[in-house]
Chains A and B, each alone.
Chain A
Amino acid sequence: DSGVTQTPKHLITATGQRVTLRCSPRSGDLSVYWYQQSLDQGLQFLIQYYNGEERAKGNILERFSAQQFPDLHSELNLSSLELGDSALYFCASSEGQGGQPQHFGDGTRLSIL
C-alpha cells in the first residue's frame, strides 16, 4: 500500500461530459503529481502541485485543470471529454524535495463511450 488514495477506481462516461478525479497524498507529502497512461502516449506527466500551489505543468490539455486544497488533497477536472481521453490517470505524491521517490496511487481508469 503506497498510502496514496485515488477515487474513483473506475469511471465510465460519454463524450462531452465532465468528470473529477480525486487524490489524497501520503501523510506528510506536500507534492502531488498527476500522470496519464494511455496506449499511444505511454506515461505522461500532466501537472504538479506543491503545498497548494501549481509548481510545474506538462502535457496537460486546456480542457483539463487541477487544484490542490488546503488539506493537500488534489482534484483533476477533465471536461468536454473525447474518446482519446480514455486512459489510466495516476496521482503520485512525494515530500516535494528534489529527487524524492514519488509514490503512486492505484489509478483511476477512465473510459469514454
Chain B
Amino acid sequence: AQKVTQAQTEISVVEKEDVTLDCVYETRDTTYYLFWYKQPPSGELVFLIRRNSFDEQNEISGRYSWNFQKSTSSFNFTITASQVVDSAVYFCALSLTTGGNEKLTFGTGTRLTIIP
C-alpha cells in the first residue's frame, strides 16, 4: 500500500523568509509519480508539479523549487522569499502507473501561514 507523510501540520514564517515543506512517501512500486497541490483559503485544489520516479532532477519554477531524493523517499518543496499569497494548505500526493488505477494518495497536508 502507498503512504504519504507530511509531518509538518502547520508552519508560520514571516514574509520574505524561505520555507521548506517536507514530504516522505512509501511504495513498493518502482514506477510512480509524485505531485504537489496547493489549497488556498478559497478551497480549490491547484496542481503545482509532477515528478516521475525516474527523474531525480530538481526543479525550479520562479520562487518554487522541489527536491526529489529516491534514497530517502522524499519530495520536498521550498518556497523562496515567501509572500502572503503563498498562505495555503499544501498537499503532497503519490500515484502509481500500474493496473490502470491512477488514484492519488494524499498526505495530510501542511498549513502554511505567511505573516506580513
Contact = CB atoms under 8 A, between A and B. Distances in A.
Interface of A: 2, 31, 33, 35, 42-45, 48, 50, 55-56, 58, 88, 90, 92, 94, 96, 98-107, 109
B32 to A, nearest CB: 8
Interface in B10-46: 33, 35, 37, 43-46
A93 B66 CA distance: 24
A101 B43 contact: no
Nearest to B42: A106
Interface stretch (B57-65, B70-78, B79-87, B101-109): B101-109
Interface residues of B, number: 25
Given A106-B43, A107-B44, A101 B102 contact: no
A31 B102 contact: yes
A101 B44 contact: no
16 contacts: A43-B109, A44-B106, A45-B105, A48-B103, A92-B45, A96-B102, A98-B33, A98-B97, A98-B98, A99-B50, A99-B102, A101-B35, A104-B37, A104-B45, A106-B44, A107-B43
